[in-house]
């Protein structure tokens, strides 16, 4: 536990751009204490742990490095460890489509499903949407919170597993990029229905999914928990909504360090 705590504290402090002195100042303790903890030479008092977790907006489990065996993670947890942003600082073109098709002339609520490190969520918040965003990766969420903080916008980042998430609020925009392949085929209808039920009138969904093609190899970093979609399958779940955009694209990618190609279907649909 001590090693995990020490590493987490160092990583969180660096990600927030704080010095040991600044953290110590915020906690009302000496910077030597912070230095001792990070060097694995001692533990903080138990009473101060919630204060440290609150300072970095993480759970106590995340701070201490506890992870239930039952919690499903993906390889992104590891990829998001570095201070660099794995997905860079550009957002997918679909984000601009949202601005064009559903501009926030009034306060609009947007849900980013599988938000990763939060680049799109922060982009939408900067453009005036009221944004909630979830992911299964605690590290991705931490980086999203930091990005929101330095961008001076507010985003409600929360931890959830797409496979058992019950949508609580109603949204004007549901955005999901690069994540729906984690839903097995037999769960897709139910999960998309759930998102549709929580979409306001005239609200939109913009989604992309990885599609299997016989002439393309499976990407080298494809996980056992990822399931390809079929070409056109997205349409099945939106036959009762107005389709405003539907396209299939093939593009180059070098995630995982090996150049490969992806086929992706993109759909934007509007609730009548």
Ligand X SMILES: C[S@@+](CC[C@H](N)C(=O)[O-])C[C@H]1O[C@@H](n2cnc3c(N)ncnc32)[C@H](O)[C@@H]1O
Q: Which residues bind ligand X (CB under 6 A)?
A: 74, 76, 87, 114-116, 119, 135-137, 140, 161-163, 177-179, 182
Shortest separation between residue 16's beta carbon and ligand X, angstroms = 20
Nearest to 265 by CA among 242, 248, 241: 248
Query: In the complex with ligand X, which residue's Cβ is closer, 221 or 244?
Result: 221
Query: In the complex with ligand X, which residue's Cβ is closer, 153 or 176?
Result: 176
Q: List the strands of the sheet with 242-253, edge to edge.
A: 155-159, 130-135, 109-113, 171-176, 199-210, 260-270, 242-253
Instruction: Concatenate the DSSP letters of all residues of 236-253 into one string.
Output: HTTTTSEEEEEEEEEEEE
Query: In the complex with ligand X, which residue's Cβ is closer, 161 or 194?
Result: 161
Shortest separation between residue 208's beta carbon and ligand X, angstroms = 9
Rounded distance between C-alpha atoms, residue 33 and residue 138, angstroms: 26
Shortest separation between residue 248's beta carbon and ligand X, angstroms = 18
Shortest separation between residue 123's beta carbon and ligand X, angstroms = 11
Query: In the complex with ligand X, which residue's Cβ is closer, 2 or 161?
Result: 161
Q: Name the residue number minimizing CB distance to ligand X.
A: 116
- 225-252 burial: b if 16+ Cβ within 10 Å, else e: ebbbbeeeebeebbeebeeeeeeeeeee
């Amino acid at each position: 536990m001590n090693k995990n705590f020490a590493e987490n504290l160092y990583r969180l402090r660096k990600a927030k751009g704080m010095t040991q002195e600044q953290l110590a100042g915020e906690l009302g303790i000496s910077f030597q204490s912070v230095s001792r903890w990070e060097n694995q030479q001692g533990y903080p008092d138990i009473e101060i742990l919630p204060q440290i977790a609150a300072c970095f907006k993480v759970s106590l489990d995340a701070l201490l490095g506890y992870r239930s065996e039952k919690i499903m993670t993906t390889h992104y947890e590891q990829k998001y460890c570095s201070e660099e942003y794995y997905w860079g600082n550009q957002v997918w073109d679909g984000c601009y489509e949202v601005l064009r098709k559903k501009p926030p002339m009034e306060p609009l609520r947007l849900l980013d499903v599988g938000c990763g490190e939060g680049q799109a969520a922060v982009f939408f918040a900067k453009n005036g949407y009221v944004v909630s965003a979830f992911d299964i990766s605690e590290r991705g969420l931490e980086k999203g919170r930091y990005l929101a903080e330095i961008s001076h916008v507010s985003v409600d980042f929360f931890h959830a597993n797409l496979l058992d998430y019950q949508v609580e609020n109603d949204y004007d925009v549901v955005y999901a990029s690069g994540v729906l392949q984690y839903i097995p085929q037999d769960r897709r209808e139910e999960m998309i229905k759930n998102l549709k039920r929580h979409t306001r009138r005239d609200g939109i969904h913009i989604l992309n999914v990885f599609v299997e093609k016989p002439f393309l190899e499976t990407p080298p970093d494809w996980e056992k928990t990822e399931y390809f979609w079929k070409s056109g399958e997205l349409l099945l779940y939106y036959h009762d909504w107005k389709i405003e955009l539907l396209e299939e694209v093939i593009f180059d990618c070098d995630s995982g360090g090996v150049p490969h190609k992806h086929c992706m279907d993109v759909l934007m649909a509007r609730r009548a």
